[in-house]
Amino acid sequence: MTNTDWVETQTRTFTNWINSKLRSIDEPPIKDIRKDFSDGLKLLKLLYALSEDTSLQPVHSRPFLSVQKMENVAVSLEFMKFNGLQLHNIGSDDIVEGNLKLLLGLIWTILSHYTIVKHSSDSKDRGFGDKRSFLLAWVQSVTSKYNVHVSNFSSSWNDGKALSALYAAHCNGKFQFSNQDWSDRKLVITTVLTLAEHELCIPKLIQPQDLLEVEPDEKSVMLYIVEWYMRFAHTSESSLGSISRSASANFSIDEPNTPDTEYSMDEQLHITKFVKVTESLKGLQNAFGTRAEALVERIKLWTRHFEALYLKYDEYEKLDELDTQSIDELADRLVKERSNLLDFNNAEKLPMLQERVELRTLLSKIKIKTNRYAFAPYNPDITLQDIDNLWTFLLQIESTFSTITDDLTRSAQTTVYSRFFSKVNEFQQHVFTQSKRLFDVLSMDSLEDQVEELKKLSEQIKQFDTLFLELSFLFEKLEKYHTAHLLTNMEYDECRLQFNELKNWLTNIFKSQIIERLKFIEEEYACSIDSFDIPDWQLNNCKQLFQECDTGAKGYLNKSEFTACMERVFNDENRLPVSEIHEIFESDINQNNSTLRGLKLEAFLSTVSSLLENETIELDKELSSSLQKYFKTLDKNAQGYDKVQQVVTELTNAPLSQFVLELERLSI
């Protein structure tokens, strides 16, 4: 039999057995074990049908919530544990969720405890193996009269002979065992099951197809045979006695060494049991009182906490009367309070709710023991109704506070949301105004005027930075709201898009455009000044060196950059000492009153021009002298020699530029 087959067989058989017990108390039958047992009501009815214990009452007669169902199931499980049923690996949640295999195991435990073999007076409540052996011995004592050997509760029953022998032994001659056609097993089994149900009132718990398996399910067969035993075992008490002694011969029970007292053994056992029950009941009552008191204190503590918060935030009903800073501070506190509320639900509320359920189960245990042993009713100082009333009030004040914080947070969020887009509009208007001003500046004819206006315009960037800082502050708040699920994804995406667009415009477009344009105009302006008495090629070369040494394109050279640039301008024999370069830098800084601790292009070109001019004068004198020596070597008979000689004589030690000009005048 496969795993699926035995589950289906046991489900059918156990369902039939349960319904047979429910019918005995006029209770409607079940259809699905998983669904019908999930609320605990049918399970309690089954236990009542088997035990006839009137203390079995559900906590909730109409359970709807899972917690209510679990409380009903918990009563059943505690009742079973109290009555000695061994429950393994099953809890209230397994039954509520409908774990079929665990349910089948639970039902087998129940029927094994309440129905399988309550035999002769000297028997004890033995384990499953002993009960199985006793039941098998009873079957063998019946079927042996018909030469049918039964060795188990599985394969010995698939040919119909064992079942037919049971029926033949109890039908008062209405069934002839020897006349059956054993070749048609299905017909024999179906016939006997039907006859037993109608003639002997043996409920048809098992189906013919279940017995026709090569190895029928053992538990299903045993459950059906138990019905035979319970129906007919009392008719042959003498044989049962011998069976009982035979079945118990395989084990022994050591009698306890009891002192010689005035009480009999039974009386001692009753006294011992009474003491244990009393101690157990007292322990349960003490546990309930201690845990109930602790739970009440926790509920009152959190009630006071939420009452204080309610009074604290109720005064903020009208946000219109608050200034911007107060709203921002309130919004931050509200986001934190909502986070604390979530922590309360997870870390405090659920454990307290679980404790309420466990206290209810504990009180149910006390009630069961009290009723079973006729103790005086238990009246705790703190009742479940007291706890429920406090719990209800806590939920009400928590809900009220949650509503207030939700409303205030939404109002604060709406205020911040509106302020954000107001700042966005202000920012965009500012951008439009400054962009138009920049366009007007670039349209000016005078470079000097452009430089002055651009310097003023660059000062406006600080206003942009201040405005963007306010915008960033508001966007950070909106991000917190989104994280706290107070801002929808659509609203947050819209804010983020606007923020990133403005940030990109300010950083990568507007600032960069102004700075680059200002640098360009300053460079053009600097290079156009006639006071730089150096050739154009040298001027362009110095400008290129300035740009290469200006790290980060900031528009000026600091001390180290100025030093590197000057070393590249004056190299080889004309190299200036580093100390002299530093002196020049400090002197220029002081002359230009620069607060940047750096030299702009104009000042740099002025410095280089001055130095190159001095160097050029010395260089021209040296070249002039060399040319004069060269002309002296010319052939005296050459054309124009006299004029050249005259110029050389007159311009001895004159600058090269003057020398060249004079030669051009003479058309040489």
Low-confidence ranges of the chain (pLDDT < 70): 1-4, 116-129, 233-270, 273, 313-332, 334-335, 338, 412-413, 447, 460-461, 484-487, 507-511, 513-515, 517-537, 572-574, 592-596, 613-668
Long-range contacts of 411-416 (CB under 8 A, 24+ apart): 411/319, 412/319, 412/327, 412/330, 412/331, 412/334, 413/331, 413/478, 413/481, 413/486, 413/487, 415/319, 415/327, 415/331, 416/327, 416/328, 416/331, 416/474, 416/477, 416/478, 416/481
> Any idea where the domains of the chain sit in the sequence?
3-114, 128-250, 284-528, 531-612, 624-665
pLDDT at position 150 = 92
Query: Which pLDDT value is given to residue 250?
Result: 36
Spatial distance between the Cα atoms of 55 and 164, rounded to a whole number of angstroms: 42
pLDDT at 468: 80
Question: Which amino acid is residue 14, in one-letter code?
Answer: F
CA distances to 535, 592, 597 from 566, in Å? 18, 18, 17
DSSP secondary structure letters along 60-86: -SS--SHHHHHHHHHHHHHHHHHTT--
303 strand-pairing partners: none
Distance, CA of 216 to CA of 225 (rounded, Å):
13
Q: Which helix (H) or strand (E) holds 556?
A: strand 556-557
Residue where the block lists tokens 């503590």: 301
Q: Closest Cα partner for 517 from 465, 464, 444, 599?
A: 444
Concatenate the DSSP letters of all residues of 450-512 into one string. HHHHHHHHHHHHHHHHHHHHHHHHHHHHHHHHHHTT-S-HHHHHHHHHHHHHHHHIIIIIIHH
Contact (CB, 8 A) for 299 and 352: yes
CB 349 within 8 A of CB 306: no
If one looks up domain 531-612 in CATH, what number appears? Answer: 1.10.238.10
Q: Is 636 exposed, middle or buried (0-12, 13-18, 19+ CB in 10 A)?
A: exposed
Q: How far is CA 104 from CA 9, 90, 109, in A?
A: 11, 11, 9
Unique residue bearing structure tokens 């962009």: 435
Query: Which amino acid makes up residue 610?
Result: S
**Is this model's pTM higher than 0.75 or not?**
no
Which CATH number among 3.20.20.450, 1.10.418.10, 3.90.1170.50, 3.30.460.80 corresponds to the domain 3-114? 1.10.418.10
Other beta carbons within 10 angstroms of residue 160's beta carbon come to 24
Tens digit of each residue's pLDDT (9 = 90 or more) over 566-601 = 888 877 666 778 888 888 888 877 776 555 678 887
Q: Do domains 284-528 and 531-612 have the same CATH topology?
A: no
Answer whether CATH 1.10.418.10 is correct for domain 128-250: yes
- What is the pLDDT, as a whole number, of residue 414? 75
Which one-letter DSSP state was computed for residue 146?
A: G
538 CB-side CA count, 13 A: 15
Report pLDDT for 550: 86
CATH class of the domain defined by 284-528 = mainly alpha
3-state SS track over 165-191? HHHHHHCCCCCCHHHCCCCCHHHHHHH
* Residue range 353-375, pLDDT digits in tens: 888 888 988 888 888 878 777 77
DSSP 202: -
Task: Evaluate whether 338 touches 484 at the Cβ level (below 8 Å).
Answer: yes
Pairs from 589-595 (Cβ < 8 Å, separation ≥ 24): 594/556
Which of these, 116, 206, 103, lies nearest to 162 by C-alpha position? 206
